[in-house]
Structure 1
Amino acid sequence: IKTMIMVKSNLTNRQLLQVLKNLLDNISGANFWIIREHVENGEVYEDHTSYMLFKQFEIRIHKPTQTIEYLDVQLNDSYQYLLNNLGMGGQYTSFNLLEFQRVRGKYAKTLYRLLKQYKSTGILSVEWSQFRELLDIPKDYEMRNIDQKVLTPSLKELHKIYPFEHLSYKKERKSHDKRKVTHIDFYFEQLPKGENK
């Protein structure tokens, strides 16, 4: 387990248990939203569904020796296809779970997942209303709230991670109304082809 999660081999079993619990606490928040548009009786609807990726974590410890016997992480059955498609030419994004668990803050974590989908281009452009929905930004947040509580802390957090050290963004505005933001564009270092970090 120590090798798998890349921690120091001289950790005591108690310390390793605490590292595992912290890791599991962090990845338990790896939930996501899927937005689907559909037409019913000539009317257009948009369904917003939240998915919890993991259903159970179990750590078995041999009590007399305090040795961790095994770690069991169970994915919700409905979403096993997500992992089955990772790294095998599938349509889903893979990312380093250990890197992800070090990201602090729900907005930074969501932005991390979004940006990783565009690692080959280094550019993410999102319609402003969709960006607010994807990050689940409260409706009463004004632009200054979003800058202070969402964008600034998220970028500060993501600047610690390659390829986001120079992550920047630009808000696109309507030509006739400069106060109205229509899109937000994120720019970061494009990963070389074939590099899967």
Structure 2
Amino acid sequence: MGKMAAAVASLATLAAEPREDAFRKLFRFYRQSRPGTADLGAVIDFSEAHLARSPKPGVPQVVRFPLNVSSVTERDAERVGLEPVSKWRAYGLEGYPGFIFIPNPFLPGCQRHWVKQCLKLYSQKPNVCNLDKHMTKEETQGLWEQSKEVLRSKEVTKRRPRSLLERLRWVTLGYHYNWDSKSKSPLPVDFRVSKQKQGS
């Protein structure tokens, strides 16, 4: 099984296989591997992207992505907990236009604020999440409010049922990919966020 990652590294080959898409096959492979046993040779490590001189076979070349440093003022970036754009490192993948990876653009202490924002705001409807397939919209409304007391509790036992936030795996913003129909549909997403760094 350890050799499988090398075999599945070429996304073009995987995508060509009938009745199975590349993402699902890779997801299943890494999920089923025992901790510490998966062959990570095909995984792109952006922390070492600046050292890579030639990509591994079947792995896209990591390239530096130029950012417009004047697009956001330093003051505006700081107001939302971000480093100045001039300090960001941005990377793309050759052959994948539109993909941009920015490692940690946050000011110290602000990651926690944005994690909380993601859990409180982005998990709300109309955004689609993994819980929607098993629950009604009413049951998944206000995941943060339903879960915060359970999560704050110091008492953690195996008998305690997991809160909805603990069962949340993903939330789609923008276009939602329907795995059953293999189609994308736009979601009416409101991207307004709080401008305070820390808070409620």
TM-score, with structure 2 as normaliser: 0.23
Q: Which has the higher strand share?
A: 1
- TM normalised by structure 1 equals 0.23
